Structure 1
Amino acid sequence: MTAAGRFPTQLAHTLKTHNGPVNAVTFSGGPGAYILTGSSDRTVHLSRAIPSSNASATETTSPIQKYEAHGYSVLDIAVASDNSRFASVGGDRQVFLWDVEQGITVRRWGGHNARVEAVQFAGEEDGVVVSGSADTTINLWDGRSNSYKPIQTLSEAGDTVSSLHVHMPTYSIASGSYDGRVRVYDIRMGRTTVDVLGHPITSVRCSADGNALLTSTLDSRIRMLDRDDGKLLKAFGHEDSAKHTFAVGKKPAPYRNTELRIRSVFAKADAVVLSGSESNKDDICDQAHAFAWDVLSGEVLAAIPAGEKVKAVSCVAWNENGKCWASGCSDGTIKIYR
């Protein structure tokens, strides 16, 4: 069996700390012992990823810490590599920079004119914060300066910038937009490459080596593209995948993403593609699943049901050091598997 084939599907921890749909989930840096989650309930929560008790399928109802400053839904979170700060964005049109330990915002940048959908750290020692907005712009902010103006604004997108991924080894920023285009900004060379996918893009991630781009679009497809020439390397979730799909549960389910912003990531050292999905809105009994595909074969490794009547698994995160992963669901729960 390949490394990708041994994908973890055992539910280890369920977080029931939020009062609204979960839109963002990310592990802390290093061993990833903690998890930060953002919700439509306007809060960010810090929780332990795997509880200290050895009991299986533990539930937690109170976070270690709540971060409350947002007046609208929290849509994305990024954690600095040293775990001392994190950034959060959402419907406020602002970018919040937090001190983790003190639980307070140390910066609030307000240069966007619409909701902010994506945020990432960049630069030496994560000194730059990058944000993407429904106002079609990407802003770069200096986290060490007292200036409230962006260092740079990238305004090539023709619609909402829904997703960002900073790849520091290649000094680049990958962005996905509802205009159906993936843009990669080479900051050193001052060059932008564009790939046209023809459907609104809800997620973009770079592989660890920076050679591949993983994109999710609202045609129920996840595509892996060659970053240099835009060539399609592999597609996941397309019609043929239904033949291979199996569920860790009672019935198989096709991958579906046609309406909501669903995040996808690489997992297991880029050997696996991991994504959430939507339920079938025409079937009131249907539930959303999290899916894992083998990168090389394209076959489904697992389809994990999110729970009765859960309509979407909107975000997923993989913890390489802990060999576990998390999913954020529309019912307000976060489930961690190992």
Structure 2
Amino acid sequence: MSDAASNERRLRELVQWNSVFTQRLFGEPGRSALRPQRPKAGADVPDWLTKLRGTLSTQPATAAGVHEPPRTGPGVVVQAAATWALSPATRSTWYPWTLYRQVWVENSWPVALDVASDNVTFAAGVWDRSIRLFDLASGLVVHTFRSESQLLGPVRVLRFAESAPHLLYSGAADKRVLAWDTRTGRIALRLVGHRASVDALAVHPRLTHVLFSGSADEMIRVWDTRVGGQCSVHELGGHRGGVRSLVGRALEPQLLSASDDCTIRSWDIVKGVAAGVCTRHAKPVIGLSSCWLETDLTESELERLVSVSADGARMWKLPAVQLVDEIPGPAPTLSTAAVSEDGQLVCGDLDGQLHWWNAAQRCWQSQSAAPQATSGVTCSVGARVPAVVLCIAFDRSATRLLTGCHDGAIRMWRLHDEYR
């Protein structure tokens, strides 16, 4: 087949995918198929979610050479989401965290972390241009991935696919997004189009083949990995700074982005246009995440968006992205942040400190990110400098936390009450 015919076929598939995206994900046009609540185990399954599962089960490979594991029944998605959640008594409550394991990266340091959706493994992007896969229970290295052509820069961000725990996406300073099959260690797909380093990635919570990427070129791209990586479905422009974080929502066709321009933007991913801009931060937004909080008035749960900057954290109501709460910042040198699915917030700074938000007392609890006396990095003049916190990630149960520091250690924390 000629290149012209191949390009024409690819464009035709993209146009067709874009036109039926709403029907596949949210039901027929003109009919509201959204639900304001997250599905729970044992509850009635909405029609749109049943239809979505049928669509996913008949999809081809999510990327070239990568296939999803077989599904065992219509309730697999709901049961997995319910298993990850903490009990209602502990939601949005701060507990003391205890360091229980350290994993050292030789001759380098971790710059990106993410935990697989099955909560069995986690991946670390290392400054030496490699990706290392660890067993979450033991902390042992399972595999080390390297591109056949050495990356022009370190991996900046990692994201596992929600419904395919063996599929890992990486964004790096070489402007590419790579899809890795963690079972074989091979690259399954290359997505090319950004003009600067890729610093943010998000996989759609329901549709594994829908990927979002944000870059220092101030652009956001929406990809359909089933039709290759030569062109994106949407190219979203509007930020005036590098894109730092992305959140794709499962219940609505909405994408949320945070940027160095101190704004949060909402996007309609069906139409490919901006839906709103939030400007309540005065400094670059370094973290963005959605969480579910229980309410006292009803038995339902509310989805909230949490944004983190050096000037503090903000909680937003979705889908309108209306400000609900403002939290003052714990330190002016924040470098990274993470929010668990149930609303636990932790930040790391350039001074080697971890800051945990105590929602009950509305204050920050701080402790050293490297509590051992031998921790720290020795500079050329012999002085010891703090173990700068570079990356943070919660596991899928929100009971364990991973932190990567400049001293070359990946530290694993867990709730202190497990020892009692």
Q: Name the TM-score class by shorter chain.
A: 0.7 to 0.9
Q: Which of 50, 54, 60 in structure 1 is aligned with 2:137?
A: 50
1:168 partner letter: A
Shift of 1:42: 1.0
TM-score by length of 1: 0.80
1:154 partner letter: L
CA distance in 2, matches of 1:93, 1:63: 27
Q: Which residue of structure 2 lines up, in the alignment, with residue 64 of structure 1?
A: 142
Shift of 1:123: 6.4
Change in CA separation of 1:299 and 1:46 when aligned onto 2, cut-off 3 Å: same
CA distance in 1, matches of 2:241, 2:126: 23
1:7 partner letter: Y
SS of equivalent to 1:144: helix
2:307 partner letter: T
Q: Are the counterparts in 1 of residues 305 and 315 from structure 2 also a CA contact under 8 Å?
A: yes
Q: Percent identity?
A: 20
Q: Are the counterparts in 2 of residues 174 and 206 from structure 1 also a CA contact under 8 Å?
A: no
Q: Which residue of structure 1 lines up, in the alignment, with residue 122 of structure 2?
A: 35
SS of equivalent to 1:153: strand
CA distance in 2, matches of 1:213, 1:6: 18
Shift of 1:159: 1.2
Q: Which residue of structure 2 lines up, in the alignment, with residue 269 of structure 1?
A: 342
Shift of 1:107: 1.0
As a proportion of its length, which structure holds more strand? 1
CA distance in 1, matches of 2:128, 2:256: 29
Instruction: Please list every run of 5 or more consecutive structure 2 residues that lacks an aligned counterpart in the other structure.
Output: 1-88, 293-300, 377-384, 415-420
Q: Which residue of structure 2 lines up, in the alignment, with residue 21 of structure 1?
A: 109
2:291 partner letter: S
Q: Are the counterparts in 2 of residues 20 and 41 from structure 1 also a CA contact under 8 Å?
A: yes
Aligned: 1:145 with 2:145: no
Q: Which residue of structure 2 lines up, in the alignment, with residue 107 of structure 1?
A: 189
Shift of 1:302: 4.8
Instruction: Please list every run of 5 or more consecutive structure 1 residues that lacks an aligned counterpart in the other structure.
Output: 52-59, 239-254, 280-287
Q: Which residue of structure 2 lines up, in the alignment, with residue 76 of structure 1?
A: 157
| Larger Rg over CA atoms | 2
Shift of 1:98: 0.8
CA distance in 2, matches of 1:229, 1:301: 28
2:218 partner letter: T
Q: Deviation per CA, 1:267-299: give whole Å up to 9, x if none.
A: 3721x21121121xxxxxxxx112211235422
Q: Are the counterparts in 1 of residues 94 and 358 from structure 2 also a CA contact under 8 Å?
A: no
Q: Are the counterparts in 2 of residues 273 and 295 from structure 1 also a CA contact under 8 Å?
A: no
Change in CA separation of 1:310 and 1:276 when aligned onto 2, cut-off 3 Å: same
Q: Deviation per CA, 1:247-277: give whole Å up to 9, x if none.
A: xxxxxxxx3426xxx332223721x211211
Q: Are the counterparts in 2 of residues 215 and 264 from structure 1 also a CA contact under 8 Å?
A: no
Q: Which residue of structure 2 lines up, in the alignment, with residue 250 of structure 1?
A: none
Q: Which of 170, 175, 200 in structure 1 is aligned with 2:284?
A: 200
Q: Which residue of structure 2 lines up, in the alignment, with residue 230 of structure 1?
A: 322
SS of equivalent to 2:105: coil
CA distance in 2, matches of 1:296, 1:169: 29
Q: Which residue of structure 1 lines up, in the alignment, with residue 247 of structure 2?
A: 165
Count of matched residue pairs: 298
CA distance in 2, matches of 1:103, 1:138: 27
CA distance in 2, matches of 1:24, 1:66: 14
As a proportion of its length, which structure holds more helix? 2
CA distance in 2, matches of 1:8, 1:324: 12
SS of equivalent to 1:10: strand
Q: Are the counterparts in 2 of residues 13 and 50 from structure 1 also a CA contact under 8 Å?
A: no
SS of equivalent to 2:316: strand
Shift of 1:317: 1.2
Shift of 1:232: 4.9
Q: Which of 9, 12, 15 in structure 1 is aligned with 2:100?
A: 12
Q: Deviation per CA, 1:306-335: give whole Å up to 9, x if none.
A: 343334212211124261111111222111
Range with greater deviation from structure 2 (223-232 or 14-23):
223-232
Matches within 5 A, 1:287-298: 288-295=352-359, 297-298=361-362
Q: CA RMSD in A?
A: 2.3
SS of equivalent to 1:41: coil
CA distance in 1, matches of 2:106, 2:97: 23
CA distance in 1, matches of 2:225, 2:107: 31
TM-score by length of 2: 0.65
SS of equivalent to 1:231: strand
Q: Which residue of structure 1 lines up, in the alignment, with residue 265 of structure 2?
A: 183
CA distance in 2, matches of 1:177, 1:322: 26
